[in-house]
Structure 1
């Protein structure tokens, strides 16, 4: 999100023609969605890499195809021919067991293959996958579902990466216009409804992926499910808004070291932070770059593109704290039934957070106070597909929830997103907690 991870393989079960047909439809829908997200971008847009943490759009399109080619087609489709053997080097990401790879910070230097060749590559892989899916069994199906979830993670990255690139242009390009221009940002200095608090009774509670609650698929870092001791606590019923964060800024939040962790204060000083990422000061007040272009900051929207350090500083300033990931999940399971989630209108991927409302599911990832570490009993899977999780369990913080760019299905209550404490290019914000 983010480095992706391998799912636990379910027990073997009969795999029918109806199952295969459903998998074909799922495969095509995910692959089409990637192309739809890339469609507004020119060949030049798709080639740029704005920082080492981001990747070009065309690289995302190719890498997700490389995943299917490397881990599904080559081992499981007899006679499959690689589209281009050189792509095995160019579009590998972090898989040491899969061989050498092009350096990540230099992906933007690859003017070739161009977007036309990438489109041909995707079509080549899709044709072979269609053939394989017509006869595949459960083992291959499990790999395909993993590959589709992997591609959906890259769909989110595609949006956040191109936003970072576009934000560096003095032209502030529009990725897509707003469907309803009347909903764009407002500079009014109003606040959303006052924060409510959910009181959560503590105890020993089950944490982690539970199939009967969260569905069948999950990434390995979501388990094993285990019991955690959680004291009584309070959790805010909505995230912090831009309007509330503006009050922190106006009170000298970025100039007062007493609110900051030492590393955070060092980052403020070194980076010159004075506002969330993508904010710009103007004669009319603060503006923010969005994928709809440059707009006035909307005080009702959740504050977004802040680091863990900024989230922790705001929480201390307001006299609260960040929740642990265990507190977040416990509260989430109490507040969101399956029926509530199924009827929630916020299932679509879109380029910008909507105004906050009371409830669990919002449009920003929420920083927690928990370091990204293995659950009790966790063991990384063997082989190349096990590389993308366990080896990242250091120097990262856990985020929970979802964002406006998160594909449907990736907002499981057990889902663990994770990033280093200083990053700001993702749709990251905060929800407050307090001791009861």
Structure 2
């Protein structure tokens, strides 16, 4: 048995737990129960399901660690399990929007009761294993904060009224964007993967050595105006630019532009409603297929995740994150060196989501968190305007299937040299 966490850290741990839990609830302020009920597609979840599932996580993996614990709502274990097969059966993901009961008020009460129980547990001192589970639960919660926003955005976009989530002045930039230029990356053997004593997901480990061939990486991500040139040049009509599965998806889905761009190509749907398309803002809501096709059209390629991580190492992980309350990418920055590596948009890489050499999953049910998804997906790096700022780090590996468009995903180009 590990020794209890030192009392000097207890208040900090409790404060962090409550801050992150309250931040999730704050994202739903001003929304009606009807808003929280909607599920617009199988890949998305209702906002109230996010509120409940993140609470289920703490009940299942923290409070449930005590064999004597008895859930006040045992039937909810089935409703709010996501994909943990070793825990038990679960409600079908595409049908989460059918769960009119429990109500939003009941779920908020559920959160309050579980928060009280976990808070009491922390205040009495916890061992290292339980502290690790709580920290994992908090980072899991922060992932769902971003998903809550992106899922809600898709739901509001599906509504012909195109309602706004927040009324925020986005502040267009009249100045030209920084010219895109390419910065030489390091060559040879480099080490990537998490190194340190703080939290990291298992998929970021182990730190290992890999080889970088001569290459360059763009100083900033691609802007709306640059992607618009691709659209107007017939990029969505030129089969030779696309991977085979990508071209099949374009034909099947009728893609002609980024997900939330309007037909006029001069406006887009945002969490603030329909707004004028800002030419210098970073383009977002692109699939891997679109990012790859644009790179090929531009005579470039996407960076590998090793190239991205090595380039970002040593940079401060600051940028336009969830806490800025802009909820949208901003214009391309000015300055020397690499810009906007963190925040604004997740950046697709050319790397498939596979395990690092020597990777080992966590023991038990928590081993299902990442490892079993290492198939048919691609890695994104850097975080977005909907990512909490203390959730990201240089080794963080996000992943989505290549057709996914509803996340704040964009493009940074690279070149062989």
What TM-score results when the alignment is normalised by the length of structure 2?
0.95
8 Å CA contact 2:321, 2:386 repeated in 1: no
Matched, 1:352 2:328: yes
Runs of 4+ in 1 over 4 A off after TM superposition: 11-14, 344-347
Q: 1:112 is paired with a residue of what secondary structure?
A: coil
Q: CA offsets per residue over residues 279-327 of structure 1, 9 Å max, x none?
A: 1123xx4211000000111111111001101101110111100001011
The equivalent residue for 1:7 is: none
Q: 2:269 and 2:222 mapped to 1: Cα distance?
A: 19
Where does residue 26 of structure 1 map in the other structure? 16
Work out the CA distance in 2 between the residues paired with 1:246 and 1:345. 23
- Whether 2:348 is the aligned partner of 1:367: answer yes
- 1:83, 1:124 within 8 Å by CA — same for their partners in 2? no
The correspondence for 1:122, drawn from 111, 124, 128, is 111
Answer yes or no: is the 8 Å Cα contact 1:356–1:362 preserved in 2.
no
**Alpha-carbon displacement from aligned partner over 1:337-378 (angstroms, at most 9, x marks no partner):** xxx446x57572531111121512240000000000000001
Shift of 1:239: 0.2
1:349, 1:407 within 8 Å by CA — same for their partners in 2?
no
In the alignment, the residues of structure 2 paired with residue 293 and residue 434 of structure 1 have an alpha-carbon distance, to the nearest angstrom, of 36
Change in Cα spacing, 1:393 to 1:291, as seen in structure 2 (3 Å) is: same
Matched, 1:52 2:37: no
Q: Tell me which residue corresponds to 1:63.
A: 53
Structure-to-structure mapping, 1:376-395, within 5 angstroms: 376-395=357-376
Q: How far did 1:196 drift?
A: 2.2
Matches of 1:320 and 1:40, distance apart in 2: 44
Matched, 1:146 2:136: yes
2:400 pairs with 1:419: yes
For the pair 1:401 / 2:382, whether they are aligned, the reply is: yes
Instruction: Give the 3-state SS of the residue equivalent to 2:55 in structure 1.
Output: helix
1:408, distance to aligned residue in structure 2 (A): 1.5
* 2:299 corresponds to which of 319, 323, 348: 319
Q: State the number of aligned residues.
A: 410
Of 268, 274, 277, which aligns to 1:297?
277
In the TM superposition, what is the alpha-carbon distance from 1:12 to its structure 2 partner?
5.5
CA contact (8 A) 2:329 2:344 kept: yes
Match of 1:260 among 221, 224, 242: 242
Residue aligning to 1:233: 215
User: Which runs of 5 or more residues in structure 2 are unaligned?
Assistant: none
CA distance in 2 between partners of 1:365 and 1:345 (Å): 11
What is the distance in 1 between the residues matched to 2:332 and 2:178?
9
Taking the aligned partners of 1:281 and 1:131, their CA distance within structure 2 comes to 53
Q: Name which of structure 1's ranges 14-23 and 375-384 shifts more when overlaid on structure 2.
A: 14-23
CA contact (8 A) 1:80 1:128 kept: no
Contact 1:349–1:408 (CA under 8 A) maintained in structure 2 = no
Change beyond 3 A, Cα 1:167–1:389: same
Return the match for 1:193 from 168, 171, 178.
Answer: 178
| Cα displacement (A) at 1:80 | 3.6
Give the Cα separation in 2 of the matches to 1:202 and 1:253: 33
Determine helix, strand or coil for the equivalent of 2:101. coil
1:12–1:81 distance in 2 versus 1, CA, 3 Å: closer
Q: Which residue of 1 aligns with 2:161?
A: 171
CA contact (8 A) 1:191 1:244 kept: no
Match of 1:5 in 2: none
Shift of 1:389: 1.0
TM normalised by structure 1 equals 0.91
For each residue in 1:372-422, what CA deviation from the matched residue of structure 2 results, as whole angstroms up to 9, or x when unmatched? Answer: 000000122221111121110000000011100001122211000000000
